[in-house]
C-alpha cells in the first residue's frame, strides 16, 4: 500500500501540538520558532489545515480558555489525537531514516 | 470593546469562507487574526489579508468541488451546474448577436459559421436551449440547490417582470396594430421570462442589503447569482434595444 505522507503544514502543526495544547495564534508562533523562521503560516493557511485535520481526526478541539500570557479573551485550544501522534511518529521515523541514509552516503550538508 | 474598522474588514474577509468552514473554525480563526494583527506592521497586515483572501478562494473551490463533483455521476447538483455553465455562455452569445457583434467563438467558429449548412441550426439550438434551461437553472440558484422554489417570490418576480414588459406591449399594440399575426408573442414571452428570472435571483440580495446582513452572505450563492444576473440583464436590454423600432411600428422591421 502507498504510504501517505504529511504535508509540511500538517507536520509542523502536529509538531507544535505534540508537547502541549495550543490555540491558533500560539500554533503560528510555535511553527515559526520550530522552523527557525522559515515557515510562516498566515491564518488562512493555518485554519485551512486545522479544519482538514479536525475532519480527519488528527487533532481535536479542547475547551476554550484564557491564555495567561495574553489578554483576557477566551481562545479555543487544540490538542493532538491518538491517530495524530501515530502519524507524527511515522513521519519523524521517515525523516530519521532519510537523515541516516544521507549520512551513510556521506553527503556533507548533513550536520 | 468596540470593534475597530480594521477588525471589521478582516471579519468581512472571513465571511468570504464557505459557511461549513466558518461554523467549524470561524470564531477561533477570527481570534487568531485579531492576535496576529496586534502590533503588526502595515506590510504584515496586507500579508494577512492576502493570505485570508487566497485561503477563501481555495476553500470555496474545495467546497464547490465537494458539492458538485465528488458525488455520483447522476448527482442533481452536477446536472444543474452543467446547465448553468451552458446557459451563461449561451446568453452572452445571444446578447452579442442581438447587439450586432459576432461573438468570438475561437475553435467553435466553424460550427456556427454561415458556410456550414448546419450553422444556422446550431445557433438556433443554442438560443432555444438557453431559453428553455434558463428558468430551471434560475430556480436552482435561487433555492440554493434545493428543488422546491419559493412560489411566492416567483409570483412577485413574474408580476414585476410583467410590469416591465407591459409598456412594450402597449407600444406594440398602439403602433403595430391589434392584428394577431403581427403580434410577436414569442419575443414578449422571452422579454417577460428574462426579468422574471433576474428579479427572482436578485431579490434575496436586496433583502440582505436592506437588513445589513451582507457580511455573512453565502459567497457561492452570491457569485452564482451575480454570474447569472449580469448576462440576463445585458440580454434583456439588448433585445429591447434591438426590437424597439418594431414596437414603434417602423415598417419592414424584423
Q: B164 or B83: whose pLDDT is higher? A: B164
Q: Which residue of B has its CA nearest to A27?
A: B32
Q: How high is the mean pLDDT of chain B?
A: 73
Q: Please, which residues bridge with residue A75 across strands?
A: A65
Q: Would the CB atoms of A25 and B31 count as touching at under 8 Å?
A: yes
Give the architecture (CATH level 2) of A8-104.
Orthogonal Bundle (1.10)
pLDDT digits (tens, 9 = 90+) for A1-37: 456 788 889 999 999 999 999 999 999 999 999 999 8
Does the structure show a pLDDT above 70 at B41?
Answer: yes
Interface residues of chain B, partner chain A, Cβ below 8 Å: 21, 24-25, 27-29, 31-36, 47-48, 50-56, 58-59
Q: Contact, B22 vs A14, CB < 8 A? A: no
Q: Would the CB atoms of B54 and A23 count as touching at under 8 Å?
A: no
Count interface pairs A-B at CB distance under 8 A: 64
- Confidence (pLDDT) at A93: 93
Q: Which residues of A touch B19 (CB under 8 A)?
A: none
Buried b (16+ CB within 10 A) or exposed e, A53-72: bbeeebbbeeeeeebeeeee
Q: Would the CB atoms of B59 and A43 count as touching at under 8 Å?
A: no
Mean pLDDT, to the nearest integer, of B170-184?
71
Q: Which residue of A has its CA nearest to B54?
A: A44
Mean pLDDT, to the nearest integer, of B137-144?
62
Mean pLDDT, to the nearest integer, of A44-68?
91
- Confidence (pLDDT) at A77: 95
Cα separation values, B126 from A40, B87, B121, B239, Å: 50, 9, 9, 16
**Cα Rg, chain A, nearest whole Å:** 16
pLDDT confidence of B75, banded at 50, 70, 90? Answer: low
pLDDT digits (tens, 9 = 90+) for A78-103: 999 999 999 999 999 999 998 889 88
Length of chain B: 254
Does the structure show a pLDDT above 80 at B78?
Answer: no
pLDDT confidence of B244, banded at 50, 70, 90? Answer: confident
Q: Which residues of B touch A48 (CB under 8 A)?
A: 55, 58-59
Q: Would the CB atoms of B28 and A23 count as touching at under 8 Å?
A: yes
pLDDT confidence of B184, banded at 50, 70, 90? Answer: confident
Q: Which residue of A has its CA nearest to B1?
A: A73
- Confidence (pLDDT) at B148: 59
Q: Which residue of B has its CA nearest to A50?
A: B25
Q: Which residues of A touch B56 (CB under 8 A)?
A: 44
Mean pLDDT, to the nearest integer, of B142-170?
75
pLDDT confidence of B215, banded at 50, 70, 90? Answer: very low
Q: Would the CB atoms of B36 and A73 count as touching at under 8 Å?
A: no
- Confidence (pLDDT) at B208: 56
Q: Contact, B247 vs B171, CB < 8 A? A: yes
| Integer Cα distance of A90 and A84 in angstroms | 10
- Confidence (pLDDT) at A1: 46
pLDDT confidence of B103, banded at 50, 70, 90? Answer: low
* SS3 state of residue B252: coil
Percent of chain B scoring above 90 in pLDDT: 2
Q: Would the CB atoms of A51 and B47 count as touching at under 8 Å?
A: no
Tell me the nearest-neighbour CA distance from A110 into chain B, angstroms. Answer: 33
- Confidence (pLDDT) at B214: 46
Q: Would the CB atoms of B51 and A45 count as touching at under 8 Å?
A: yes
Beta-carbon contacts of B17 under 8 Å, excluding residues fewer than 6 positions away, are: B26, B55, B56, B59, B60, B219
Amino acid at each position: 500500500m502507498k504510504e501517505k505522507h504529511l504535508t509540511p503544514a500538517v507536520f509542523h502543526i502536529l509538531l507544535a501540538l505534540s508537547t502541549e495544547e495550543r490555540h491558533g495564534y500560539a500554533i503560528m508562533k510555535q511553527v515559526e520558532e520550530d522552523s527557525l523562521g522559515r515557515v510562516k503560516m498566515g491564518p488562512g493557511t493555518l485554519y485551512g489545515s486545522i479544519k482538514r485535520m479536525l475532519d480527519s481526526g488528527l487533532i481535536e478541539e479542547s475547551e476554550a480558555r484564557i491564555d495567561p500570557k495574553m489578554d483576557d479573551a477566551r481562545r479555543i485550544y487544540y490538542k493532538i489525537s491518538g491517530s495524530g501522534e501515530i502519524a507524527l511518529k511515522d513521519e519523524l521515523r521517515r525523516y530519521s531514516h532519510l537523515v541516516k541514509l544521507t549520512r551513510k552516503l556521506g553527503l556533507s550538508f548533513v550536520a | 470593546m468596540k470593534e475597530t474598522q480594521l477588525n471589521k474588514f478582516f471579519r468581512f474577509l472571513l465571511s468570504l469562507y464557505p459557511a461549513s468552514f466558518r461554523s467549524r473554525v470561524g470564531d477561533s480563526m477570527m481570534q487568531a487574526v485579531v492576535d496576529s494583527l496586534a502590533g503588526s506592521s502595515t506590510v504584515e497586515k496586507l500579508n494577512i489579508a492576502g493570505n485570508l483572501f487566497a485561503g477563501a478562494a481555495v476553500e470555496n473551490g474545495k467546497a464547490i468541488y465537494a458539492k458538485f463533483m465528488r458525488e455520483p455521476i447522476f448527482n442533481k447538483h452536477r446536472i444543474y451546474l452543467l446547465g448553468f455553465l451552458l446557459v451563461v455562455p449561451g446568453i452572452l452569445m445571444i446578447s452579442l448577436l442581438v447587439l450586432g457583434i459576432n461573438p468570438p467563438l475561437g475553435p467553435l467558429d466553424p460550427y456556427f459559421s454561415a458556410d456550414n449548412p448546419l450553422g444556422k441550426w446550431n445557433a438556433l439550438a443554442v438560443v432555444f436551449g438557453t431559453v428553455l434551461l434558463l428558468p430551471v437553472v434560475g430556480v436552482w440558484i435561487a433555492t440554493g440547490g434545493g428543488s422546491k422554489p419559493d412560489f411566492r417570490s416567483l409570483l412577485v418576480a413574474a408580476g414585476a417582470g410583467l410590469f416591465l414588459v407591459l409598456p412594450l406591449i402597449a407600444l406594440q399594440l398602439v403602433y403595430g396594430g391589434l392584428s394577431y399575426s403581427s403580434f410577436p408573442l414569442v419575443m414578449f414571452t422571452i422579454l417577460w421570462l428574462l426579468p422574471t428570472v433576474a428579479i427572482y435571483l436578485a431579490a434575496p440580495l436586496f433583502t440582505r442589503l436592506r437588513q445589513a446582513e451582507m457580511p455573512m452572505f453565502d459567497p457561492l450563492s452570491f457569485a452564482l447569482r451575480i454570474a447569472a444576473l449580469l448576462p440576463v440583464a445585458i440580454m434583456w436590454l439588448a433585445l429591447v434595444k434591438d426590437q424597439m423600432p418594431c414596437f414603434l411600428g417602423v415598417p419592414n422591421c424584423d
